[in-house]
Amino acid sequence: MSLSKGNKVSSMSWVKHPGHYLFFKIFIWFWLTIIGTVTALIFLSNITVINAVSNEPLHGPMEKNLIYTAKSIERSVVKHKRSLSNTLSHTRLSKRKLLYLSAEQPEDSLTNKDVPIDVDLSLLNFTKSMSPQIIFTEKYQAFGPIQIKVPEGNFYLYEIDINNQPPLFIRLKLMPSWMKVSIAMIASLILSFLFSRNLIAPINSLKKAAVRLSAGDLGARAAISVNRKDELGVLGRDFNSMANQLELLISSQKRLLADISHELRSPLTRLKMATGLAQMQANDASQSYLLRIEKEANQLDKMIADVLQVSRLEAKSQALSLQKQSLQIIVDHVINDAQFEAKQNNKQLNIVGAVDVNINCDEGLIASALENLLRNAIKYAHNTISITLKHADAVYIEICDDGPGVPNGQLSKLCEPFFRQSDARDRVSGGTGLGLAIAKNAIAAHDGSLVLSNKEQGGLCANITLPLIKE
C-alpha cells in the first residue's frame, strides 16, 4: 500500500517539478539543441542574400492541372483561330495565376499579365531539363515547363507563383550547404558544451571532494548549488551531509581520546603521590613493588602525554613557538642522545652530511620528531642506523635502519596512532604506539613531509623534507 502511494507521490512530482529530474534536463537540453540549431538556420537565412536557383520534380495534381491548362490553350488557339497572345489575354486565363510561355526566341515569350519589374522570368529560358518541375528562385516559384504546340511555334508553359516573402523552407533550401552545415555545427556545439558543463561540473566537484576526503581532509565538501534540485544536486547534498557526519564522528572520537587522556591525569597524579608516600614508609620487601608501580605510572603518563600531543597536533591547536635557528644544533642534540641509546643496544650510528641552515621551527617539536624516528630505527636495526643530512632547495633528512623493514601494504598505516604491525614485540620495547604519529604530525606542522619506505636490501627508511626559510 505504502509503496504504491510512494510511487504515486514521485510520479506526481515528475509532473510538478520536471527540473528536478536529470531525465528531463537531458531531454530538454537535447530539445533545445535542436530548436537552437533550427532557429539559427532561420535567422541566418533571413539575413543572407540569396541569388540561387534550385528545383525539384513536379508530380501529382499540380502537374495534371498544368497539363490541362496547356491542352486548353492549344485547343482554344486551334478552335477559335486566335493568336496565342489573344488567347492568353482572354479573361478566363488572365484571371488565373501568372502564366509564362517561353518561346525558343526569348523576345517572342509571352505572359498573360503584367509582370512586376523585379521578377526576372527570363531565368526560366535557361531551364535545362524539359520534364515538369518546380523551380525555386528568390522571387517566385515556377511550375513547368509543359510544351504547347501552336501554329506560331513551340512554347513552354510555366505557371508562376510570385512570393513577396519567400517561404522559409525555400530560403533554407537556397542557403549554401557549407553554411547549413556550419550553423548546425556551431549551434549544437555551443549548446552541447553548455549542457555537458552543466552535467559534468557537479560530478567533477563531487570527485574532487571525494579525493580530498579520502586523503584525510575532513573539511572537504562538494560545491553544489543549493538551488540545484535534480539527481546530481541531491547526490551532492547527500555527499556533503555524509562528509559532515564523518567529520563529526572522527572529530568527536579524537576529542574523546583527548578528553579521556586529560581526565586520566588527575587520578594519575594522585596515584604517583600516594606511591611516593608509601615509598617513604615501606619496608624493603614492598619497595620493589612500589618501584614497579611508579614505573608503570610513568609509562601511563608518557602515553597520555603522547596522546595529547598527537591530538593537539592533529587538531592543529598546538601553538608553535617558531624561531629562526640552525637545524644543526637541534640535530646534534638529538643525535647525541641517540648515540648513547644506540651504544647501550650495541648498535652503530653512521652520520653523513650536515644541515647547517637556518629554518623557522619549533625546536621542541622538530626534536621530538627526530627523536621518535631515531628511537624507532634503533629499536628495529640489526647493526647500523644510517643518517643522511643534506640541504638544497629544502632540508632532507634520511634515517635508515638495516632491520626487517615493514610489509609494503602497511607502510601507509605506520603513522596512524596505535598501529602495530605485530602485536607481540612493541610492548616489550616500551613504545607507546604514537611515536611515528607524533613525528609525522610535527613535521606536517612545519609544512614538511615524512615518507616511509623499504630499502631494497632490507630495512626501513624515513625521509624527512622540511622547507627552508623563504627569502
Partner 1 sequence: MKLLMIDDDTGLCELLSEYLTAQGFEIQSVHDGEQGLKLAQANDYALILLDVMLPTLDGFEVLKQLRQTKLTPVIMLTAKGEDFDRIFGLELGADDYIPKPFNHRELLARVKAITRRIEHINSLNLAATSKLLVNGITVNLAAREASIDSSTLTLTGTEYEILTLLCKNAGEVVSKEQISEEVLGRRLASFDRSIDMHVSNIRKKIAEHISGERIKTMRGTGYVFIQGE
Q: Which is nearer to partner 1, 274 or 451 (CB)?
A: 274
Cβ count within 10 A of residue 61: 7
Residue 387 three-state SS: strand
Q: Which of 87, 318, 376, 386 touches partner 1 (CB under 8 A)?
A: 318
Q: Which of 7, 245, 252, 321 touches partner 1 (CB under 8 A)?
A: 321
Q: Is 333 in the site for partner 1 (CB under 8 A)?
A: yes
Q: Which is nearer to partner 1, 246 or 277 (CB)?
A: 277
- Binding residue count for partner 1, defined by CB under 8 A: 29
Q: Which is nearer to partner 1, 115 or 305 (CB)?
A: 305
DSSP assigned state of 415 = T
Q: Which is nearer to partner 1, 19 or 276 (CB)?
A: 276
We find the least distance from the C-beta atom of residue 277 to partner 1, in angstroms, to be 5
- C-alpha–C-alpha distance, residues 449 and 445, integer Å: 9
We find the least distance from the C-beta atom of residue 379 to partner 1, in angstroms, to be 20
Binding-site string for partner 1 from residue 245 to residue 284, where x marks contact by CB under 8 A and - marks none: -----------------x--xx-xxxxxxxxxx--x----
Segment holding 269, helix H or strand E: helix 231-281
φ and ψ at 90, to 5 degrees?
Answer: -60, 140
Cβ neighbors of 457 (< 8 A, separation 6 or more) are 402
We find the least distance from the C-beta atom of residue 459 to partner 1, in angstroms, to be 28
We find the least distance from the C-beta atom of residue 353 to partner 1, in angstroms, to be 21
- Report the side by side order of strands in the sheet with 153-162: 54-57, 133-136, 140-150, 153-162, 98-103, 110-111
Q: Which is nearer to partner 1, 194 or 278 (CB)?
A: 278
Binding-site string for partner 1 from residue 348 to residue 387, where x marks contact by CB under 8 A and - marks none: ---------------xx--x--------------------
Stretch that binds partner 1, among 133-141, 298-306, 341-349, 446-454 (CB under 8 A): 298-306
Q: Is 394 in the site for partner 1 (CB under 8 A)?
A: no
We find the least distance from the C-beta atom of residue 267 to partner 1, in angstroms, to be 8
We find the least distance from the C-beta atom of residue 279 to partner 1, in angstroms, to be 8
Select which of 17, 59, 80, 262 is catalytic.
262
Give percent helix, percent strand, percent coil of the chain, each to the nearest 5: 55, 15, 25
Q: Is 138 in the site for partner 1 (CB under 8 A)?
A: no
State yes or no: is 90 an active-site residue: no
Burial category of 90 from C-beta neighbours within 10 Å (exposed 0-12, middle 13-18, buried 19 and up): middle
Q: Which of residues 167-186 bind partner 1 (CB under 8 A)?
A: none
Distances (CA, A) of 64 to 68, 115, 364, 444: 6, 25, 106, 92
Q: Which is nearer to partner 1, 125 or 328 (CB)?
A: 328
Rounded to 5°, the CA angle 127-59-98 comes to: 55
DSSP assigned state of 185 = H
Q: Which is nearer to partner 1, 45 or 318 (CB)?
A: 318
- C-alpha–C-alpha distance, residues 140 and 136, integer Å: 7
Q: Residue 66 in contact with residue 140, Cβ under 8 Å?
A: no
Instruction: Give pairs for 208-215: CB < 8 Å, separation 24+.
Output: 209/239, 209/240, 209/243, 210/239, 213/243, 213/246
Stretch that binds partner 1, among 56-64, 84-92, 169-177, 315-323 (CB under 8 A): 315-323
Segment holding 306, helix H or strand E: helix 284-314
We find the least distance from the C-beta atom of residue 370 to partner 1, in angstroms, to be 12
We find the least distance from the C-beta atom of residue 273 to partner 1, in angstroms, to be 4
CA atoms within 13 A on the CB side of 192: 8
Q: Residue 52 in contact with residue 174, Cβ under 8 Å?
A: yes
Query: What are the residues binding partner 1 (CB under 8 A)?
Result: 262, 265-266, 268-277, 280, 297-298, 301, 305, 308, 312, 318-319, 321, 325, 329, 333, 363-364, 367
Give the residue numbers marked as catalytic.
Answer: 262
